[in-house]
């Protein structure tokens, strides 16, 4: 992998991890266009996903500090309750990862037609939020956390945007825009960190063929674009601007279907 390919893939990962356009769907497209399979480069995959985790932590550093400081109290408080909801949201994707990993992996086989249809589903979800009346619940419930977690589990399919699916589901359940955006970005920390640790300890990470420079370029690109995209996305959700991403996903979905046929 060249440093230029690493730069392109890093920027792509950073932007699409937070913007509701499906990072996995765009990675599948990049495989076809750049003639490289990022999933076979495990070390690079771990590095750029780690970069997006770091950017999330930076953006929500204040919130995370409050949560963890409050969680040390020996009583059931707001911080402990919020952390518990994040863990509840993790259950569906954990089940999918434990029991459906080989089945899910079969969808990452260069099937652009499938990716295109999943992008159309993402576009539909985002469009529904445009017409939905958000009630603005004071806080996300445990039930809502689990349902949003199910949406995240479906987002393992290439073409289904994780942020798009989780934010759309949260809004359709009647939760406030800012609460949903924050919850959506924080809930991804455990799955990504967990998956990265599994990949590292599997022994396959050390077999990566990517040189240090491309790894460094990919990390920096993913971190800074992820940081910008995360902050931008929070403002876009507040302003109900997701309809433009729905149009984008629809157009890219149709193009991808045509490329795959």
Q: Residues 112-124: pLDDT tens digits?
A: 888 899 999 999 9
- pLDDT at residue 103, as a whole number: 66
What is the rounded CA–CA span in Å between residue 42 and residue 49? Answer: 11
Q: Band of the pLDDT at 198, cuts 50, 70, 90?
A: confident
> Which range scores top for mean pLDDT: 96-100, 109-113, 142-146, 244-248?
142-146
Number of domains making up the chain: 1
Q: What's the confidence (pLDDT) of residue 134?
A: 66
Over residues 153-167, the mean pLDDT reads 89
As given in the structure block, the two tokens for residue 68 are 């963890």
pLDDT the model gives residue 42 = 66
Residue-level pLDDT at 89: 94
What is the rounded distance in angstroms from the CA atom of residue 83 to the CA atom of residue 113?
38
Q: What is the Cα gyration radius of the chain? A: 18
Q: Enter the tokens of residue 204.
A: 């396959």
Among residues 96, 56, 54, the alpha carbon closest in space to that of 181 is found at: 56
Instruction: Quote the domain boundaries for residue 198.
Output: 3-260
Whole-number Å distance between alpha carbons of 230 and 61:
13
């Amino acid at each position: 992998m060249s440093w230029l390919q690493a730069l392109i893939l890093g920027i792509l990962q950073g932007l699409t991890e937070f913007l509701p356009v499906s990072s996995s769907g765009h990675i599948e497209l990049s495989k076809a266009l750049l003639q490289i399979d990022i999933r076979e480069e495990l070390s690079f995959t771990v590095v750029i996903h780690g970069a997006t985790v770091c950017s999330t932590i930076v953006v929500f550093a204040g919130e995370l500090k409050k949560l963890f400081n409050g969680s040390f109290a020996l009583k059931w408080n707001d911080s402990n309750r919020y952390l518990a909801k994040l863990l509840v949201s993790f259950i569906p994707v954990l089940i999918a990862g434990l029991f459906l990993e080989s089945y899910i992996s079969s969808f990452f086989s260069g099937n652009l037609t499938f990716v295109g249809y999943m992008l159309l589903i993402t576009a539909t979800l985002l469009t529904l939020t445009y017409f939905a009346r958000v009630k603005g619940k004071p806080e996300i419930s445990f039930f809502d956390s689990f349902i949003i977690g199910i949406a995240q589990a479906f987002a393992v399919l290439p073409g289904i945007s994780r942020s798009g699916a989780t934010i759309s589901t949260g809004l359709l359940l009647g939760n406030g825009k800012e609460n949903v955006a924050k919850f959506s970005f924080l809930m991804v920390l455990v799955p990504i960190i967990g998956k990265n640790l599994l990949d590292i300890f599997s022994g396959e990470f050390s077999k990566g063929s990517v040189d240090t420079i491309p790894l460094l370029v990919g990390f920096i690109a993913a971190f800074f674009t992820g940081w910008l995209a995360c902050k931008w996305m929070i403002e876009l959700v507040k302003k109900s601007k997701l309809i433009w991403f729905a149009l984008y996903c629809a157009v890219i979905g149709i193009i991808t279907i045509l490329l795959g046929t």
